[in-house]
Amino acid sequence: METLPGVTPQEQQNTYFYIGQHETKRTVPVTTELGNQAQDAGYDMMTRPITSPGFQAKVLALVDAYFEAVSASANADAIPYPLVAPLTPEDTNLVPDEYISTMICCTSTWIDLASPDPVIAHVSRQVFNHEVAYAAFCGVNNIMIQGPDLEASSVISQYARAIWNSLEAGPYINLQILLPMQPAESKTAEDGLSLAGRARDSFKTIKSMSTDALWSWDTWELIRSTCKYHPRLTVALEVPQKLPSSEIQSRWFSEPLRTLMLPESTFARNAKGFPVLNKPVQALLTRYMRLKTVPWIILSDVGPIPGQNHPGMPVNLPDRSASPDLPTPAQSKRKQQTQTQKPKDLTPHLSYIRHLQRTQPPRPIIDRFAAGYQDFLQSPLQPLTDNLESITYEVFEKDPIKYEWYERAVAAALKDLHKKLQRPIVVAVVGAGRGPLVTRCLKASASTGIPVKQWAVEKNPNAYVLLQRRNATDPLWNKRVTVVKTDMRAWKGPVIDSSPAKVDILVSELLGSFADNELSPECLDGVQHVLHPEHGVSVPASYTAHFTPIAHPKIYADLLSRTDDQKWELPYVTMLHQYDDLCIDPKTLQPDIQTAWEFTHPLPEAIIAQSNLRRGGSVQAGGGGMVGGDGWNEHNARFCRLRFTASSRGVCHGLGGYFETVLYSPENGSKKIELSINPNTMEDKSKDMISWFPIFFPLKTPLYIPTASEIEVSMWRQTDDRKVWYEWQIEVFASLGGSRQRIAASDLHSSIKNGCLM
Amino acid sequence: METLPGVTPQEQQNTYFYIGQHETKRTVPVTTELGNQAQDAGYDMMTRPITSPGFQAKVLALVDAYFEAVSASANADAIPYPLVAPLTPEDTNLVPDEYISTMICCTSTWIDLASPDPVIAHVSRQVFNHEVAYAAFCGVNNIMIQGPDLEASSVISQYARAIWNSLEAGPYINLQILLPMQPAESKTAEDGLSLAGRARDSFKTIKSMSTDALWSWDTWELIRSTCKYHPRLTVALEVPQKLPSSEIQSRWFSEPLRTLMLPESTFARNAKGFPVLNKPVQALLTRYMRLKTVPWIILSDVGPIPGQNHPGMPVNLPDRSASPDLPTPAQSKRKQQTQTQKPKDLTPHLSYIRHLQRTQPPRPIIDRFAAGYQDFLQSPLQPLTDNLESITYEVFEKDPIKYEWYERAVAAALKDLHKKLQRPIVVAVVGAGRGPLVTRCLKASASTGIPVKQWAVEKNPNAYVLLQRRNATDPLWNKRVTVVKTDMRAWKGPVIDSSPAKVDILVSELLGSFADNELSPECLDGVQHVLHPEHGVSVPASYTAHFTPIAHPKIYADLLSRTDDQKWELPYVTMLHQYDDLCIDPKTLQPDIQTAWEFTHPLPEAIIAQSNLRRGGSVQAGGGGMVGGDGWNEHNARFCRLRFTASSRGVCHGLGGYFETVLYSPENGSKKIELSINPNTMEDKSKDMISWFPIFFPLKTPLYIPTASEIEVSMWRQTDDRKVWYEWQIEVFASLGGSRQRIAASDLHSSIKNGCLM
């Protein structure tokens, strides 16, 4: 990126905006020279039509001649449909020149692929196919296609099929469908130069859908579903001055936006007469330009490319370093004083967008941390079966919040226990890793002044080496820590003065993005026997899993392209990014993220006792778990059935999952110490914590969620004593004809083949 | 099958009814001896419970104890859920005896797998899993499972998951879910001996669906969908005395009915006091017993097995040859005269069903012809690319109607033409095969007295051999036929007196189940040039394709089990059998089978002319077809978008397709001569014609069709000049919240990879 004069390095690190120029009706042919002029003017790209106005006139005349022949004839069926001749050099000035791969070619806007009139549809398809085929031949990479007329009589399936067909025309062509965010309130007047205007009324009788505010999105949804979420099919979204509802803005955020189209009408004029965007549109731009795949911005009908009417003449370019709305005093003075006028800004809209680019607000911390990881699917860790690498621990240890909170929790627990026990507190960190929690326990002891006897238990033989070294060398540890290498479930407990003792505070961090998915319950149950039966405390005290239905076309398309047949049957850890929450609580305006289930520690004694009886298949206990095994882990099975209300219609691609945990709840009733990645509570409970990304449970087949319908999710945590896995199923209910009916149900998904081994 | 006395051979060829005996609560244990007695009594099978009443009491006591402990405790969570001990010999008398594989085992009916109360559900699952596991271990093949309570608060997904789990318990176990045809109007009173009765009211608050008449079927639909249409999961359908609507009867017909359960309450008593079934139930039985997989009939609570209360005593069996409702006069007299009484019929219900078995009405011809072919999927023939075998022709030639109709059509055409031309008529059969149509043309000539000059054109070099031989030896042919071996599209036409001549009547039979799917249009276009341009007649004159949305779980399950990934992307020819029409016309009460498109012959000259211009890529013509090729076959492309209204809610698995053809329309206005396999018109137009089975277009993912919704089908006939293929997509619309919305859409299916080669 070139250094722009007057721009700070910080500003320069803002995302670069690729800005293009478009004219609905170009008045000059697009040539290499025009391309140069656009580049000189500061545009990164421009659009070009494929065929000429002469071609348009030719085709319209052909259609008119056909209709005349039909009205004059006794047998309309005997007259062949109009046949559009292949392109001649007069029909197109597109050639494989130096800009061929940088310009966006536009197919003709005067056709109507969705026409209910079969002749109009037929001729439109011919024009469209000629144009796409020729553009593909020339080596064009990007084609923009006018979306279908958002009329009730449009035949979207027919339009979609034509798009599907053209995706096969060339293996490298990317297609963008140009659509408004919502249908226009009034229809633009026909100018007699379109095919749509020639459709016969007798064919317009069948009304398809009610054309409400979501109809534009709905149209896109059918097109992309028909095209099987093709990776080369994207959206060019026209942003109006008066934005649609926030639901619609959020909905488009989740779609593959290749381009944001800003027509002249979207701009307002500021007091000085410069074109500007209102605050809501600026906010939308800020939001959309933070997408991982940054959309291009195309300015439409904002004026000609400087010099385009004077080919060959150099253009006096304006000074872009100044803010377009406030000339500096120096400039004002210079304006008065100098003879040579500062050149007028011939591309004020472009200047303004560049200004916005440079003055974008900084991104939140978590965005910067997660850059590159957005929507990148990872298999959940299995730290129980696998031994983590040092670098993994190192990344975890960078979290600025988590360990702070653990320290606070241990400090509070120390205070509560010391009141009761009046002796050194026995603290054990189980799953100690490289020791950061041990450090925090020692710090809590120091800050509260309460002495502790500290244990660190770790099964990973490699991490164990580091723990021992740390104990020997770390000044805070000072050889005071007893380091034990064992799976915590096999640990017999601390020995103090040659006698077996119990642990007063059991500290662990075994949580996954869905709380229990790294088997914290199974581990802590297994080590509970070392905890003091009366006053023993677990940090964390409890944790909950949460989820909500979401739309996520990007992840769905990603999974669709993979060949592994188990891909739909397991959850993924991912920085959820380009998605839309489907169920917004109308009171709080937040996504309705509900609680699936909870685990608390330590467990009541009776439950552990029954589990132990069942271990080894005791007949008295009842043996025989329900899914195999003896059932000694059955108390850790969970089931929930939650009901959500869809805010507006959409498509559900799966569930976004999160967790929360109460590390410790102080006895004096002061605020619980909690961690959360639940978007609704994370700011409040543990702002800026980076250690966990959310989790995503996919659906193999996207479910349509109509307006005013309810989504019921059944989810199971299953166990057969050897492993743990999840199962999930989604049903959709709506009120039809006065009765509540099921209108769709997903498969029952099961991650049993990718279960977490105990 | 043994010969029964007094039964005619005809009667004996009726389908045998496998009849079993069931008691809701058996009063005696089921032993080998009881099995023998059932067999002696004439039953083919019986049911048996798995566990004993003692086991039931034990489990109920366990649950009651848990609830007491919970109410007495401060912390309900500390009390482990009740644990059902593994089965002891007292809990079950099921052993792997000689009847183990012939009896249907019933899991306990007093459990509630769908209970909203998690404790009840948990205990139910334990009982269920113990029973299924033990039965599987013993080698039981068939298990009947009580369907879920059809209450609004039942958790069907939970029930379904339990069933799914148990299907994995043993690879050979077949499970039947016992369900009523529709929910009962009133709930049977609780007897205090069930788990459902112990569910706590606080859990019954969430009402799922409105429990209307279809709710029982809907419940089955979710269960089998969750179990992925598992082949070992079937239905045991309880048939009531007062039948539900015909829609519901038809709906169950399409489901995998393993058993028809007839409880005592379904029987009425005739004047003589014998148990009989009313006429509607008899009609239902007749219909259901004609299913390819014949359901078993189980009589429930119709009385004990004779001798069961007197083990060891021989039973005097009644004479079953007599009709149960009319003792013969001889018998009446004998009754009075003889000392020894005729033994009372101890199993009158069984006798009655046997009587029904023997007196079933004969099946329609087409049923008998198609036996074995029902729902058997065949790839459509490709007679254009492939050469058919003689046996294929032979099977076709057996059709009693088709050739008759062709003869009538040719005769009518001969009369109309002879009036005009007053000379011998030139008749050509194109695609002559082994010559049956040629024979019929000659017969038409004979019967009308109108002389013909007869040609027979055939590309199949093997059939050509037979044609030549036939011409030489067949007395009717009498060497008068000119046999030409050529693809008809390459035929130059007849030569008469050394001069090229035109054909007056072009006869062909190139039709497939979907009319044009064997490429009749392409062939006839190609031979049209030999037809006289002014008065030339084609027999057939036109043909139309028709379709309607159907439910067909059987075919769907069949395709699901196949591995070929193209399986959803092609239509199948099949004798559609176990399906349900989803869209019934409320006026005619017939399925709404609509017309997709039509082809007429000969084509108007202008259309052929344009096609010829485009052949070879003529620039003037416009060349460039829309899907590749030069487009000279483009006039044979078709598109339709048809709207259907769903009669009641259901699931759509695809489209049933049919065709009709007008062979000839006499000029004097008398009735057109037509063939049809459209169920709505076939009786009227060509009754008993057997030559074509319907066609089926599958959907990869079944579409829920809610009540009062509309189904819109888009279908394309596509061509790229080298081949022809079909594409189809189904959308579902409903009115929600006052606006018409799309609520589901299928994939766009395409048979392009299995196109018919031209």
pLDDT, tens only, B258-278 = 999 999 999 999 999 999 999
| Mutate: best of A88, A154, A743, partner B, most B CBs <10 A | A743
Can you say which residues of A are annotated as belonging to the binding site for S-adenosyl-L-methionine? 393, 402-403, 458, 487-488
Q: Nearest-CA distance from A211 to chain B in Å? A: 9
Residue B698 is inside which H or E element, if any? strand B695-705
Give yes or no for B334 touching A (CB within 8 A): no
Residue type, B195: L
User: DSSP 3-state assignment of B527?
Assistant: helix
Q: Which residue of A has its CA nearest to B747?
A: A226
Q: Which of A226, A621, A740 comes nearest B83 by C-beta?
A: A621
pLDDT bucket at B322, cuts 50 / 70 / 90: very low
Judge whether A429 and A471 are in contact, CB under 8 Å. no
In a domain, B222, yes or no: yes
Q: Do B741 and A209 touch (CB under 8 A)?
A: yes
pLDDT band at A3 (very low <50, low <70, confident <90, very high): very low
At B148, list the tokens. Answer: 């879920």
Catalytic entry in B518, B522, B634, B674: B518
Q: Is the pLDDT of residue A618 over 80?
A: no
Which residues in chain B touch residue A736, judged by CB atoms under 8 angstroms apart? Answer: 706-709, 734-736
Nearest-by-CA chain B residue for A742: B209
Contact B157 A731 (CB under 8 A): yes
Domain-embedded: residue B246: no
- Using the Cβ of B748 and the Cβ atoms of chain A, whether some distance falls under 8 Å is answered with yes
| Enclosing H/E stretch for A123 | helix A118-138
Distances (CA, A) of B592 to A207, A209, B571, B657: 20, 22, 20, 12
CA–CA separation, B445 and B581 (whole Å) = 43
Please count the CA atoms within 13 angstroms of the CA of A426 that sit on its side-chain side.
Answer: 16
Burial of A632 by CB count in 10 Å (0-12 exposed, 13-18 middle, 19+ buried)?
buried
Residues of B in contact with A220 (CB under 8 A): none
What the block records as the tokens of A50 is 């494929």
Asked if residue A441 belongs to a domain, the reply is: no
Q: What is the CATH number of the domain that holds A165?
A: 3.20.20.150
Tokens of A632: 């000694």
Instruction: Determine, for residues A741 and B614 on separate chains, whether the beta-carbon distance falls below 8 Å.
Output: no
Indicate whether B330 belongs to any domain: no
B643 touches chain A (CB under 8 A): yes
CA distance A178 to A262: 12
Residues B97-123: tens digit of each pLDDT: 878 878 999 999 999 999 999 999 999
Taking residues A481-494, what's their average pLDDT? Answer: 94
A641 reaches B (C-beta below 8 A): yes
Chain B residues in contact with A226 by the CB 8 A cut-off are 729, 745, 747-748
For residue B682, give the H/E element and its range: helix B682-686
Tell me, what DSSP letter sits at residue A202? G
Tokens of B278: 């009313």
> What is the spatial distance between Cα A78 and Cα B54, in angstroms, rounded to a whole number?
83
Residue among B614, B635, B743 minimizing CB distance to A706: B743
Q: What stretches of B449-537 show up as alpha helix (H) in DSSP?
A: 461-473, 520-527
Does the residue A706 lie in any domain? yes
Question: Which parts of A193-253 fold into alpha helices (H)?
Answer: 215-226, 246-253
**Is the Cβ–Cβ distance between B412 and B674 less than 8 Å?**
no
B747 neighbourhood in chain A, CB within 8 Å = 225-226, 228
Q: What is the CATH number of the domain that holds A735?
A: 2.70.160.11
Q: What is the pLDDT of residues A274-289, one digit of tens each?
A: 999 999 999 999 999 9
Mean pLDDT over A517-546 rounds to 96
pLDDT score of A739 more than 90: no
How many other C-beta atoms can be found within 10 angstroms of the C-beta atom of residue B61? 11
Task: Give me the residue label for tokens 């914290």.
Answer: A520
Planar angle of CA A456, A457, A462, nearest 5 degrees: 105
Q: pLDDT band at B740, cuts 50/70/90?
A: confident
The helix (run of H) or strand (run of E) holding residue A356 is helix A348-358
| Residue that has been written with the tokens 């769905």 in this structure | A556
Q: List the binding residues of B for S-adenosyl-L-methionine.
A: 393, 402-403, 458, 487-488
Q: Which pLDDT belongs to residue B619?
A: 53
DSSP B234-300: EEEEEPPSS---HHHHHHHHTS-EEEEEEEGGG-EE-TTS-EE--HHHHHHHHHHTTSSSPPEEEEE
- The answer to whether B216 touches B179, Cβ cutoff 8 Å, is yes
- Quick check: B623 contacting A, CB < 8 Å? yes
Helix axes B279-288, B246-253, angle to 10 degrees: 20
Q: Is B320 helix (H, G, I), strand (E, B) or coil?
A: coil
- State how far residue A190 is from chain B, nearest Cα, in angstroms: 27
Share of chain A above pLDDT 70, in %: 91
Residue A271 belongs to a domain? no
Instruction: For A78-97, write each residue's pLDDT tens digit.
Output: 899 999 998 999 999 898 88
What pLDDT does residue A617 have? 60
A518 catalytically annotated: yes
Q: What whole-number distance in Å separates Cα of residue A536 and Cα of residue A503?
A: 7
In a domain, B267, yes or no: no
Average pLDDT over residues A619-623: 53
- Interface size between A and B, measured as CB pairs under 8 A: 214
Q: Is A28 a domain residue?
A: no
The binding site of A comprises 393, 402-403, 458, 487-488
Q: How far, in Å, CA of A585 to CA of A217, rounded?
A: 22
A616: contact with B, CB 8 A cutoff: no
- Cβ-based neighbours of A338, under 8 Å, separated by 6 or more: none
User: In this complex, do B80 and A210 lie within 8 Å of one another by their Cβ atoms?
Assistant: no
Please indicate if any CB of chain B lies within 8 Å of the CB of A398. no
B 578-607 residues inside an 8 A Cβ radius of A: 600, 604-607
Known catalytic residue: A90?
Answer: no
Q: Please answer whether residues A230 and A256 qualify as being in contact, where contact means their C-beta atoms are separated by less than 8 angstroms.
A: no
Instruction: Write out chain A residues lying below 8 Å of B133, CB-based.
Output: 624
Report the alpha-carbon distance of residue A195 to residue A122 in Å, rounded: 11
**Residue whose tokens read 């905890």:** A531
Tens digit of each residue's pLDDT (9 = 90 or more) over B380-413 = 777 777 788 877 788 778 888 999 999 999 999 9
B326 pLDDT more than 60: no
ipTM of the complex: 0.85
Domain that holds residue A587: 542-758
Residue A602, preceding peptide bond in cis (omega within 30° of 0): yes
For residue A639, give every residue at least 6 positions away whose Cβ sits within 8 Å of its Cβ, in sequence order, or none: A597, A714, A715, A716, A717, B118, B158
Among the listed residues B409, B498, B495, B404, the one whose alpha carbon sits nearest the alpha carbon of residue B453: B495
Lowest mean pLDDT segment, chosen from A297-311, A457-471, A488-502, B225-239: A297-311
B85–A206 CB contact, under 8 Å: no
pTM of the model: 0.89
pLDDT of A75 reads 87
The H or E element containing residue A178 is strand A174-180
Determine contact: B560 vs chain A, CB below 8 A.
no
Distance of CA B566 to the CA centre of its chain: 22
Q: How many other C-beta atoms lie within 10 A of the C-beta of residue A291?
A: 18
Residues on chain A touching B83 (C-beta within 8 angstroms) = 610, 614, 621-622, 631
CA A657 to chain CA centroid, Å, is: 13
Per DSSP bridges, beta strands B174-180 and B142-146 are parallel
Number of compact structural domains in chain A = 2
* Nearest by CB: B86 against A80, A207, A623: A623
Which residue stretches of A673-730 are H helix?
Answer: 682-686
**What mean pLDDT is predicted for residues B148-177?**
90
In angstroms, the separation between the Cα of residue B100 and the nearest Cα of chain A is: 24
Phi–psi pair at A289, nearest 5 degrees? -75, 0
Q: How many residues appear in chain A?
A: 758
Shortest CB distance from B85 goes to which of A133, A622, A716? A622
- State residue B483's pLDDT score: 96
B747 touches chain A (CB under 8 A): yes
pLDDT confidence of residue A321: 46
Percent of chain A predicted with pLDDT > 90:
72
Is the sign of the CA dihedral A524, A526, A531, A535 positive or negative? positive
pLDDT band at B4 (very low <50, low <70, confident <90, very high): very low
CA–CA distance, A416 with A429 (Å, rounded to integer): 18
